[in-house]
DNA sequence: TACGTTTATCGTATTTATACGATAAATCAT
DNA sequence: ATGATTTATCGTATAAATACGATAAACGTA
């Protein structure tokens, strides 16, 4: 690999992408989780229906309950949402703290 | 599905996620492309090596040339990078316009 | 205790993503 | 033209994601 760029058609960097280690892993995980149209829709639904239960989400999607439960798990483990047990059901909300963290990271590394 | 939330443990929405249609599709595509550690590394490398060619990127990764070429295609089609033919090689840069668009979208819908 | 309700998990089928070697395409230099 | 260099694409093998039905787990209620 050469140290000098092979061409000069590129503008100076528009962003730093200054992140690494565990933070980068976490960021990639969040990117991956939202890189799916179903999961993006679920997140959108939770904005207008905070505190809804799994069944409510299942009813809005053309998917089996087991599949939706898996998607919710991915979103939970990535930190986009959090679920609180409420009797036999599970109440889902956006994870405001992590969403804010993600936004700040994007602003910083792509700003 | 019930119209009233089944629990009340959730704070008011921390974001709007106000996006839909083609813009949402594009956003999901960009999320998906960066939801892979190799592609994230490639993007980071391009910050410090603007205008490098495919071979330079291949040399920094423990992957075959064909594989890297595929990853570059994903990043290109998602709009994160752009490649300009320069002789027999291909000079890669960050796509500043699209990166800025992504950042603005995140700030808006998650702000 | 037994039953209805709700959700997660298991096992599995299918699709998609990832990876590689081999080859083709494009360009430059000889 | 021939050969060297660089990259993309093809074919294919393997790994991971996605989907489903069936079942188990947890809870409230009769």
The DSSP secondary structure of A65-107, one letter per residue, reads HHHHHHHHHHHHHHTSEEEEEETTEEEEEE-HHHHHHHHHHHH
Using a CB-CB distance cutoff of 8 angstroms, which residues of chain A are in contact with residue B28?
34-37, 40
pLDDT of residue A9: 72
CB count in 10 Å sphere of residue A77: 11
Using a CB-CB distance cutoff of 8 angstroms, which residues of chain B are in contact with residue A31?
31-32, 34-35, 40
For the stretch B85-98, pLDDT in tens is: 998 999 999 999 99
**Who wins on pLDDT, A108 or B2?**
A108
In 3D space, the residue among B53, B50, B93 whose CA is nearest the CA of residue A1 turns out to be B53
Question: CA-to-CA distance for B9 and A111, rounded, in angstroms?
Answer: 34
- In percent, the amount of chain B with pLDDT more than 90 equals 85
- Shortest distance between the Cα of B81 and any Cα of chain A, in A, equals 11
Closest nucleotide to A65's CA, by C1' atom? Answer: C7
Average pLDDT, chain B: 93
pLDDT of residue A6: 61
Using a CB-CB distance cutoff of 8 angstroms, which residues of chain A are in contact with residue B4?
none
- Shortest distance between the Cα of A82 and any Cα of chain B, in A, equals 9
Q: How far is C-alpha B29 from the geometric centre of its chain's CA atoms?
A: 7
Phi, psi of A13 (to 5 degrees): -50, 135
| Band of pLDDT at residue B108, cut at 50, 70 and 90 | very high
Question: CA-to-CA distance for B47 and B20, rounded, in angstroms?
Answer: 30
- Among B2, B3, B15, pick the best mutation site for testing chain A contact (most A Cβ within 10 A): B15
pLDDT of residue B2: 40
Q: Give contacts of B 86-105 with A, CB under 8 A.
A: 86, 89, 91, 93-94, 96, 99-100, 102-103
H/E element, A21 = helix A21-34
For the stretch B36-49, pLDDT in tens is: 999 999 999 999 99
Cβ atoms of B93 and B81 closer than 8 Å: yes
Query: Helices A65-78 and A37-48 meet at what angle, rounded to 10?
Result: 80
Given CATH 1.10.10.10, say whether it is the number of domain A21-109: yes
The class level of CATH for B24-109 reads mainly alpha
């Amino acid at each position: 690999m050469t140290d000098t760029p092979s061409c000069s058609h590129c503008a100076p960097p528009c962003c730093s992408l200054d992140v690494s280690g565990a933070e980068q892993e976490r960021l990639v995980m969040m990117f991956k989780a939202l890189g799916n149209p179903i999961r993006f829709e679920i997140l959108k639904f939770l904005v207008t229906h905070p505190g809804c239960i799994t069944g409510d989400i299942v009813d809005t999607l053309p998917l089996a309950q087991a599949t939706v439960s898996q998607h919710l798990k991915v979103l939970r483990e990535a930190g986009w949402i959090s679920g609180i047990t409420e009797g036999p059901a599970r109440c889902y909300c956006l994870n405001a703290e992590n969403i804010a963290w993600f936004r700040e990271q994007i602003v910083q590394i792509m700003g």
